[in-house]
Amino acid sequence: MADDKRKIAAAVKAVDDALKGAGPPAPPVVEIAAHTALAGACVAALGYNKLLALSDKQNAGERPDLLGLTINLLIQAAHQAIVEGDPDLATDLLMRLRVHAPHDVGVRLDLSRQMERLDRPQEVIALLEPMLATFDALPAIYLERLGALVKAAVTCRRLDLVAVIGKAVAARPDGGFLPTISQASCERMALLEDLGVSPEVLAQRAEAPAERAYLPAILAYSDHAMIEALAPESLGGILDVDLALTVAGIANARGWSRPYRMALAAATDSVAVHGDVARARRSWTRSKLAPEGFEPFLLGVRARQESALAGATNPEALQDVATAPEVLAADAGVAGTVEAVYRESFHGFHDGPSLATATAAWRLAYRAGRFATLPRIAPLDSDRGAPGLTSKAASVVSARVRNDPASPLWLMMTWRADANRLLRTLTAYAGKGVKLIVSIGGDGRPADLSRASALLLVEDAQILIRPTVTWGGQKLLFQNVLEVMKAFSETTTPDAWIQVVCDRSYPAVNLRQLRQHAAKGAESFKKYAHFHGPWAWRREWPDEIVDNLPALYNEAMDEVIETGRADKFRALTTHPMFPAPPETRFRSTTFSFNETPVSISGDVRASAHRYSISSYQQDVRWMSFSRLQEFVDTSSENGASYSRRLHPLAMSWAHKTLLKYEMRNGSPFFFANRKYADFIHSDERIPEMFSVMNLGFGPEMNFFDTVAASFDLKDDMIHPYVRFPTEDAVDSLLPTICEQADTAGRHLIRKSNPTEGGQVLEFLSDRIFEAEPAGDFHWVGTVDVSDVARTLLPVFDEAVLESILDSAVTLRNLKGETPQAATLGRDGHIRDEDDASIATWLFERNGLTVHYNNRLWGVKRYERLVSDGRNLTLAPAELIHERNHWSLFIDIPLSSVRQDPAVTGLGVDRTRKVIETPRPWVGSPNHEAALLCAFTDNEDPAFPAPVAVADGGVYEVRQVDGEYVMLCAVGGDPALLRLSGVAEADGRFAVILSRATQAQADQWDASPHAAPTVRLPVKQIIGRWRLDLLEGSRHVVLDADGGVLDEHGAVVGRWALRHDGLQILGLKGLRHALAGQYRWQDGVWSLSGWGWKNLKDLAAFRMIQAGA
């Protein structure tokens, strides 16, 4: 300390002497390094004015011996000025440093940051461009400054510089990445070069009117930004086919369909007005657009010329387009204006519906530039030969969809209420390669579980129901997520990933893009820095506080309770190491001096959950592990979560256990791979960490982040959700959401808000729909089934009773003692082997009430069934103990359970009822999304689904090559569709229609008329099925005698067909189950429903025909 004071005094004296004109002292002045406490004290002692005067001396060439001291103190002073919020002084100091140390890399970097803060991009370029060669040799940490140079270069339209930087970064051996926006800019320059556009030439022409109009679209980071840049008011009426098709090429490469169509529309207007088809053809090829798309593009141009734009079109342009080979081919055999001829054919179809009039309408719609609906209604092109009409139409409607390898994805969604919105939200996630898992656990079994269970119709979906826990309590995620992750770890391939979301989350991209990215491995997410959780808790206090935190926390709370003062507590929560405003944490705390618990939900704590605070305690639920949360018990009682201080011994144990880990503030919306999931379920340290956190010491989501941070798994468990300052995604955040999704790989929003964020949901829904690959398209129509009562959960009902009446039974207690053979008679008596009545029974309220003659047994109630594969057991609904002799159970051999001969098949075919009457149809290239949405109420505008909706009806049905093919009208347009599936759930019957093939269209005239019938008869139930449960799949065989056999031929259960579904008894994991939903898809039946795993736990299941 004395030495520091001596150094400061010497430095101050040297500066004072220099300012007085004295020469250099005999002994040299001691150097003081920048960025040190000593330098800060020296700057404080001198003051800014003396430092500026010393700098002037250096500029005048005086006292060069003080140059090193001058530079170091100016650096220190500049940083202090920035911290103190004095940008003018900081800039002055840094500009002086640039003169004093023109080759100092650190000075240039610091000054560039200051210029960036002051929004002076030209100065940023002047400072950093000369350093390009230096950046190439610097560690990746300095790429942040290179990113600033890219941003400045884009602002100043130095696109040539951006291209050079992008190539240099791509060639770095360390694989470093620029900040996301800058990285996106460099990737855009590479894409432009791939499309044959020189960034250098584009930069040179940046101020030309056309380039100035189109550059915002060319450089747009997201589809939303490109859409805004292509709006007519943005382009200002400037038409340039080359630039418009360049934008179309970019949108096509990125898979952005809506801006792709807008760019093609701008190019269409340009050619319609100016002509020059040859130029457009060259630009089309250069932009790497689909070759088959140029013909419909020109037909769109010709249609535009015939529209209102025609008055502004010169005759040469008309002639140029009319004589193009593609237009001449489309016009062959047709005369008249395109729109008039199409209209005539449209009305001709409805006047005389036939495949011939439909085919004419499709061709003339194509000729008239009406491309949008053709890929949804006309037959699929043949696999042979050149692209057909619908492929050509699709090439100008949808941008290219990449067909890259994709990882399997499990999507786990926690759900509380409103099944309609749940299913509509899930339509945005559903798709091939995505397993949907809805987790219910918190508020008990939802009232609309029947509607939610329609999810089980989807090819790969599950619903997990756990025992009721209080929302906000730790068991919600711990128990549900860990169970799902265990199944994920045990049943998936090593390249699989799992994403956890809530029912208010919404994808920002089509999940195919995420799955394709994930297939590249965890390393591919590094450049986005998705795992940057809040600070580790150690950094918020010095070590002496961290090491003694339990004692300090208890002292603080004791003071509150003993004196009514919170000085020590406030000192802890306002420690200067906290990176938040001083009083933030203290202001968020609630104290209670009441003798009884008090609710803190509502005005005190805004939340949909019920929170309370115990007597004489404080609520620090807002705090995470990184603060005081590990010392707060948040257990739940009586439907509410409570906050209370832990017992000091438990607190000491928790602290000792967690101290060695990298504690993190977590988020439940994580994305993890198999490596992470395997670690969770195999590492021996996890049970200890789980045990501490599971006792209620804080938000359960912290567990998952802490594991990732503590065991080098930060690349394997990340948070790729969009970051924004508000809790919910509101409409004003739409540009931010799209930019982060398209540049930073952030594929979902944590919480949507349909009230204030309706435009966000609508836009994202549209982009997800648009990102589905062109090809097949599916339409789903439904009709309510109100004439059949359906049972959702398996219960002891009259159908079960009827199947066991007159069966031999065994009466026994829990210990298996006192067995007695008897018969459950149809006459209301249970009789012994001598036909004497030993009890009477009454069936009521889904249960059996039995009055035993023996006073030892009394009256017992039987409501629940269970089976071990041999017997069906009726369990008594009472406390069972020694004093009631371990009660009395009724065993019935499973082989005695009878089929109902009156039931000859599953379900009632209502296909014709759906198609006979025009009704709204739901459509999508993704048939799972269309099916899910069809089981919702479509009049919910607050939750848009990524589907199309149109009125549909059927004119004629024929049986073509074993399939039902239908001539339809969809939205008024003729359509040829095949019956690809039917489904029934939640009192609703659905018919799934898919585009017919060209081969079916060719055979239509020779095929007979038919009335479609789809039903699952008993004889088709007999056979091999795959049984899917959350924990995995296995195969079973349903034999003709009602037995369920395992893969080895052993009888493991019993099946029976009922009026409301297929009943399964005895299977491990499905002791009593009922498949009350069914689906037939492309010739394969699947059944789904619910079963009791045991006497208390429910399990969702699905059975799929598996053939021989």
| Position 704 confidence tier, pLDDT thresholds 50, 70, 90 | confident
pLDDT on residue 932: 96
Q: pLDDT-derived band of residue 621, with 50, 70 and 90 as boundaries?
A: low
Mean pLDDT of 582-601: 76
696: Cβ–Cβ under 8 A, 6 or more apart, which residues? 473, 474, 632, 633, 634, 635
- Which of 892, 869, 889 lies closest to 1071 in space, CA to CA? 869
Q: What's the pLDDT score for residue 269?
A: 94
Which DSSP symbol is given to 933? H
* Residue 64 binned pLDDT confidence (cut-offs 50, 70, 90): confident
Query: Between 312 and 191, whose confidence is greater?
Result: 191
Could you tell me which residues are beta bridge partners of residue 504? none
Q: Which fold has domain 404-523+666-720?
A: Spore Coat Polysaccharide Biosynthesis Protein SpsA; Chain A (3.90.550)
What would the mean pLDDT of 532-550 be, rounded to a whole number?
Answer: 64
Number of neighbouring beta carbons within 10 Å of residue 821: 10
Of the candidates 241, 147, 253, 244, the one whose C-alpha atom is nearest the C-alpha of residue 195 is 253
Residue 407 CA: distances (Å) to CA of 256, 493, 632, 668, 1096 = 22, 9, 40, 22, 36
Q: Does domain 1017-1105 have CATH number 2.40.50.140?
A: no
pLDDT in tens, 933-965: 999 986 677 789 999 999 999 999 999 999 999
DSSP readout, 416-479?
A: -S-HHHHHHHHTTT--TTEEEEEEE-SS-S-TTHHHHGGGGGSTTEEEEE-----TTSTHHHHH
- pLDDT at position 153, please? 95
Q: For 531-535, 569-573, 646-650, 880-884, which range has the lowest pLDDT when averaged over its residues?
A: 531-535
Residue 39, CB half-sphere, CA atoms under 13 Å: how many?
A: 20
Mean pLDDT calculated for residue range 402-407 = 90
Nearest to residue 243, comparing CAs of 220, 210, 265, 269? 210
Q: How confident is the model at residue 154 (pLDDT cuts 50, 70, 90)?
A: very high
User: What's the average model confidence in pLDDT over 521-543?
Assistant: 64
- Within the chain, all domains assigned CATH 3.90.550 are found at 404-523+666-720
**Pair 367, 331: CB distance under 8 Å:** yes
Residues constituting the chain: 1108
Least confident among 228-232, 479-483, 665-669: 665-669
Tell me the three state secondary structure of residue 229: helix
Residue 533 pLDDT greater than 50, yes or no = no
**CA gap 126, 149 in Å, rounded:** 9
Convert the pLDDT of each residue in 1033-1073 to its tens digit.
Answer: 999 999 999 999 999 999 999 999 998 899 999 999 999 99
> What pLDDT, on a 0 to 100 scale, did the predictor assign at position 699?
53
Query: Is there a contact between 886 and 816 (Cβ–Cβ < 8 Å)?
Result: no
Side chain identity at 54, as an amino acid letter? Answer: L
**pLDDT at residue number 983:** 95
CA-CA distance, 645 to 558, in Å (whole number)? Answer: 11
Q: What percent of the chain has pLDDT over 70?
A: 89
- For the cut 50, the answer to whether the pLDDT of residue 472 exceeds it is no
Both tokens assigned to 631? 């010392």
pLDDT digits (tens, 9 = 90+) for 161-216: 999 999 988 888 776 778 889 999 999 999 999 999 999 899 888 889 999 999 99
**78 has a pLDDT exceeding 60:** yes
pLDDT attached to residue 169: 86
In the chain, list all ranges with CATH 1.25.40. Answer: 2-206
- Cβ-count burial 349-380 (b if 16+ within 10 Å, e if not): beeebbbebbbbbbbbbbbbbbbbbbbbbbbb
How confident is the model at residue 538, as a pLDDT?
Answer: 44
Q: How far apart are CA 394 and CA 848, in angstroms?
A: 62
pLDDT at 709 (0 to 100): 86
- Residue 70, pLDDT score: 84
pLDDT, tens digit, for every residue of 243-274? 999 999 999 999 999 999 999 999 999 999 99
Report the alpha-carbon distance of residue 626 to residue 644 in Å, rounded. 18
Long-range (24+ apart) CB contacts under 8 A made by 1003-1008 are: 1003/960, 1003/961, 1004/355, 1004/958, 1004/960, 1004/965, 1004/967, 1004/976, 1005/355, 1007/958, 1007/959, 1007/960, 1007/961, 1007/965, 1008/958, 1008/959
Q: State the chain's mean pLDDT as an integer.
A: 87
Q: Which helix (H) or strand (E) holds 118?
A: none
Q: Tokens for 33?
A: 């390094």
Least confident of 12-26, 89-103, 1005-1019: 12-26
Choose between 178 and 463: higher pLDDT: 463
Highest mean pLDDT of the ranges 10-24, 66-80, 103-117, 1067-1081: 1067-1081
Mode of pairing for the β-strands spanning 1023-1029 and 1032-1038: antiparallel
With a cut of 80, say whether residue 499 has pLDDT above it: yes
Q: Quickly state the pLDDT bin for 367 (edges 50, 70, 90).
A: very high
Alpha-carbon distance of 973 to 361, in angstroms, equals 8
3-state secondary structure of 345: helix
What CA–CA distance (Å, rounded) separates 358 from 362? 6
Q: Can you say whether residue 175 is alpha, beta or left, with left for phi > 0 and alpha for psi between -120 and 50 degrees?
A: left
Which helix or strand (DSSP H or E) is residue 708 part of? helix 701-710
* For range 638-648, the mean pLDDT: 65
Min mean pLDDT across 181-195, 610-624, 724-738 is at 610-624
As annotated, the residues of the chain forming the CATH 2.40.128.10 domain(s) are 1017-1105
How much is the pLDDT for 620? 58
Q: Which residue has the higher pLDDT, 574 or 1084?
A: 1084
| pLDDT-wise least confident of 516-520, 572-576, 730-734, 894-898 | 572-576
Domain 2-206 belongs in CATH node 1.10.10? no
Which is higher by pLDDT, 1026 or 118?
1026
Going by the DSSP 8-state scheme, the letter that residue 533 receives in this structure is P
- Tell me what the mean pLDDT of segment 1010-1027 comes to: 93
Query: In this structure, are strands 973-985 and 988-995 parallel, antiparallel, or unpaired?
Result: antiparallel
CA 220 → CA 216, 229, 432, 571, 1079, distances in Å? 6, 8, 30, 49, 44
> Are the CB atoms for 993 and 781 separated by under 8 Å?
yes
Q: What SS3 class is residue 539?
A: helix
Share of the chain above pLDDT 90, in %: 56
pLDDT of 623 > 50? The answer is no
Name the nearest CA neighbour of 331 among 363, 300, 309.
Answer: 363
Average confidence (pLDDT) over 823-843: 96
Question: What is the token pair recorded at 770?
Answer: 């648009």
Asked if residues 1078 and 1085 have their Cβ atoms less than 8 Å apart, the reply is yes
What gap in Å lies between CA 681 and CA 700, rounded to an integer?
17
Q: What is the pLDDT of residues 387-404, one digit of tens each?
A: 788 999 999 999 998 888
Q: Evaluate the CA torsion angle 889, 1093, 869, 1039 in order and state its sign.
A: positive
Q: Does residue 358 contact residue 253 with C-beta atoms inside 8 Å? A: no
DSSP 828: S
By mean pLDDT, which of 263-267, 278-282, 890-894, 910-914 is the weakest? 910-914
- What is the Rg, in whole angstroms, of the alpha carbon atoms belonging to the chain? 37
| CA 639 – CA 731 distance, rounded (Å) | 35
Nearest one of 842, 844, 872, 836 to 859, comparing CA atoms: 842
Residues 6 or more apart in contact with residue 306 via CB below 8 angstroms: 337, 338, 339
Q: Which range (127-141, 917-931, 1010-1024) has the least confidence?
A: 127-141
* Residue from 470, 842, 500, 551 nearest 677 by CA: 500
Kindly report the number of other CB atoms within 10 A of residue 40's CB atom. Answer: 17
